[in-house]
Structure 1
């Protein structure tokens, strides 16, 4: 669990240090982005290794039907992280579609993984995304939405999200539990 928590800490630091220490970030110039990316990458590696190595226990059980809710939430998470919301007509006024998608993905994983390590990992990532939205909104209050797109763009990116869900689900089943059934 220590490595998992260290990875989460690096994830937070890599994302927030630009606004927490703006002078230090600005003094580094273009290297700051590379350092942020490296810190985040090391954090992800630590999270993966820490998560897989943690001996955890289930805190509760969940009804098997929640697997379908999970898959639906992940489908919408994929759509929100695509260009669909900013290019389409349905969600073009949404300010943070990618972070919203990230929150959906993390919460979807919380509801079907009742073990403590999953709750720590996905709970901390959910909190990070919510904090990121708050920090961005405070730093950039004058945001304006993109021009309204078309329903055809929404449909195109939603179909792409369905295909991507099938591919990710297949790969997920190869390296871990299958999200689509026994």
Structure 2
């Protein structure tokens, strides 16, 4: 679990660095972005390795029907994440679509994973996303972008379906069948 905790700590620290120490981040310039990207990549690798190596310590047993709730929430998470790149009518409906998607993703995974490593990983990511939204809202004003054409939202739905299929295929490839229940 040490790798998992270290990965989570690096992830949170790297993401909050820009807002916690904006002057230090600005002094790093473009090289700082590259360095932070490397730290985030290391954090991600540590979280994946730590999660996969963690012993299974059951905390609770999720009921089987929550698999279906998880899958619906995951479709929503992929859609909301995609809203950050849309130029359609939905553009600007959410201030933090990526962080909102992380929160939906974390809750969905907490519903179907009752082991300690999962609760640690997904709970920490949920807490980080909530904290990040609070920090951003307190430090930056937001100008809501103008909505674009509705056809871009239709494209977002198509992309969401394709991305969800890819994500489920990757889960299956890794040995986790997301439709069991």
Partner of 2:62: 62
Q: SS where residue 61 of structure 2 aligns?
A: coil
Question: Offset at 1:25?
Answer: 1.6
Q: SS where residue 44 of structure 1 aligns?
A: helix
Question: Offset at 1:22?
Answer: 2.2
Q: Supply the distance in 1 between the matched residues of 2:93 and 2:170 (Cα, whole angstroms).
A: 33
Partner of 2:13: 13
Question: Offset at 1:83?
Answer: 4.0
Q: Deviations over 1:19-69 (max 9, x none)?
A: 222222222121111111111111111111111111022211112111111
Select between 172-181 and 79-88 the one with higher mean Cα deviation. 79-88
Matched, 1:50 2:50: yes
Alignment of 1:78-157 (within 5 A): 78-83=78-83, 86-90=86-90, 92-141=92-141, 143-157=142-156
Partner of 1:75: 75
Partner of 1:24: 24
Question: Offset at 1:133?
Answer: 0.8
Q: Supply the distance in 2 between the matched residues of 1:60 and 1:50 (Cα, whole angstroms).
A: 20
Structure 1 segments (4+ residues) deviating >6 Å = none
The change in CA–CA distance for 1:90 and 1:26 in structure 2 (over 3 A counts) is closer
Gaps (5+ residues) in structure 2? none
The change in CA–CA distance for 1:21 and 1:92 in structure 2 (over 3 A counts) is closer
Whether contact under 8 Å (1:103, 1:129) holds in the other structure is yes
Residues paired across the two proteins, number: 181
Partner of 2:174: 175
Q: Supply the distance in 1 between the matched residues of 2:31 and 2:85 (Cα, whole angstroms).
A: 31
The change in CA–CA distance for 1:39 and 1:95 in structure 2 (over 3 A counts) is same
The change in CA–CA distance for 1:39 and 1:106 in structure 2 (over 3 A counts) is same
Q: SS where residue 100 of structure 1 aligns?
A: helix
Whether contact under 8 Å (1:56, 1:117) holds in the other structure is yes
Gaps (5+ residues) in structure 1? none
